[in-house]
Amino acid sequence: MAILVASRSTLLRSCAPIVRPARSGLSARCMSAPAGELRKTRLYDFHVQNGAKMVPFAGYSMPLQYGSVGAVASHHHVRNSVGLFDVGHMVQSNFRGPTATAFLEWLTPSSLHALAPYTSTLSVLLNERGGIIDDTVITKHAEDAFYVVTNAGRRERDLAWFRDRLEEWNAGELARERGKVEHEVLEDWGLLALQGPEAAQYLQGLTSFDLRELTFGRCAFVPIEGFNLHVARGGYTGEDGFEISVPPSQTVEVAQMLSKPPVQLTGLGARDSLRLEAGMCLYGQDLDEETTPIEAGLAWVIGKDRRENGTFIGADGVRKHLKEGPPRRRVGMIVEGAPARQGAKIFAPSSQDQLGAYPLSRGIPLSLSRARFLIRSTDLSSRCKGVVTSGIPSPTLGKNITMGYVANGWHKKGTEVEVEVRSKMRRAVLTPMPFVPTRYYRG
């Protein structure tokens, strides 16, 4: 996956998009490539047999939608009932060894030592500057055993990073004294996401395990119709649901078992709109290596003790943004008129009334010097405050929702801005995310 990035100073100076402009988050990754170069999940033939339209995505041939059921209809079905997604393109890994906790706490800023067994957390892999190499879900099975899921589009970058850092770690003093860490990639394993308000009822009908014991962020090995599968409660839609890891030889049979009515097979089109309504990021679009977790609104993944001890890769850049504030911040917006797509520029309002009076009247801090500067500014480049990274018409809300980055100080809820859509300025209002309330099962 080709990702074009720009420096923070470039972004704020010229609002050059941090990725190649595209009509949607999905099309940014659905890049043309010869079919022979694409990977296939274990369910490729299953998708084709069920009428899927297959498209290139993150180096894989993946289902966009099935038969005559469009993305919007599939979106509503997941919000109201239950859908099944193939997410087997994601990279599943095991890290094992006496120093596994310490190793992963070096790679990420999360407090993994504080996680209880069989619980998960969202985290980030950071480069030396504090930029996000990838976002990841880390599940702790024990102090010496972790299950980690990373993005398919970052497969080569992530695996090379793991390899190099493991070599460095295992040559170090702690590993020599207490034991090394081993990394196993679960090649060709299936990963199925059963998502929606009826997901638990459907899955409960297939197992004697009491799924009420699995609250959001917890996992277990669950007996399902003769299979013993790793089941984690969570997902990428904002709905209640489960992500189920399946050995290669069992993937097709498990998918068949999980796709009976009312379950509906669901493709990438609906997955993208569901995740954006839930305010979730898509790597390569909303996140990249020039973006810190503070800019991305992910400061909550950084443990309090980790902020203090700074014993993770990229700590200096992250702690600088924590202390001084980041130069830009990820925000959500509702845009009037036509939907704003990836790459659209975000501007300060053009009229003097909006510039000077609007933020003050809404109680949003605006220094007098900045207000005077903005009122004097008529040049678009000086009014440019950010860029859209994801945007769609929301099927649930019937409004145009957008995610993007704006200069620090322009990120407050209710701030009014303008977004350039099809060569016209559209009014937009900064709105808290998620756009649609999440419905995770917490017991």
Sequence ranges of the binding site for substrate = 243
Number of other CB atoms surrounding residue 17 within 10 Å:
21
Distance of CA 195 to the CA centre of its chain: 16
Angstrom distance (rounded) from CA 224 to CA 308: 44
Measured from the Cβ of residue 118, the count of other Cβ atoms closer than 10 Å reads: 18
Where do the DSSP E strands lie in 201-352? 219-224, 227-233, 241-246, 264-265, 328-335, 345-347
CA dist 417 to 158, 172, 272, 332, 345, Å? 37, 51, 25, 12, 10
Q: What is the rounded CA–CA span in Å between residue 375 and residue 334?
A: 24
Q: Are 330 and 405 in contact (CB under 8 A)?
A: yes
**Residue 35 CB-density burial (10 A; 0-12 exposed, 13-18 middle, 19+ buried):** exposed
Residue that is written with structure tokens 């669901």 in the block: 266
CB 10 within 8 A of CB 257: no
Sign of CA dihedral 329, 335, 340, 345: negative
From 90, 98, 96, 113, select the one nearest 147 (Cα to Cα): 96
Closest CA to 40 of 54, 28, 51, 52: 54
Going 313 to 316 to 322 to 326, the CA torsion angle's sign is: negative
Q: What DSSP state is assigned to residue 35? A: G
* Distance in angstroms (rounded) separating the CA atoms of residues 222 and 208: 9
Residue type, 182: E
Q: How far is residue 65's CA from residue 438's CA, in Å, rounded to a whole number? A: 24
Angle at 20 (CA atoms; ends 16, 22), nearest 5 degrees: 115
Annotated binding site: 243
Rounded Cα–Cα distance for residues 224 and 245 (Å): 12
Which residue in this structure is represented by tokens 């109201």? 80
Phi, psi of 190 (to 5 degrees): -85, 155
Amino acid present at 201: Q
Q: Encoding tokens for residue 303?
A: 């443990």
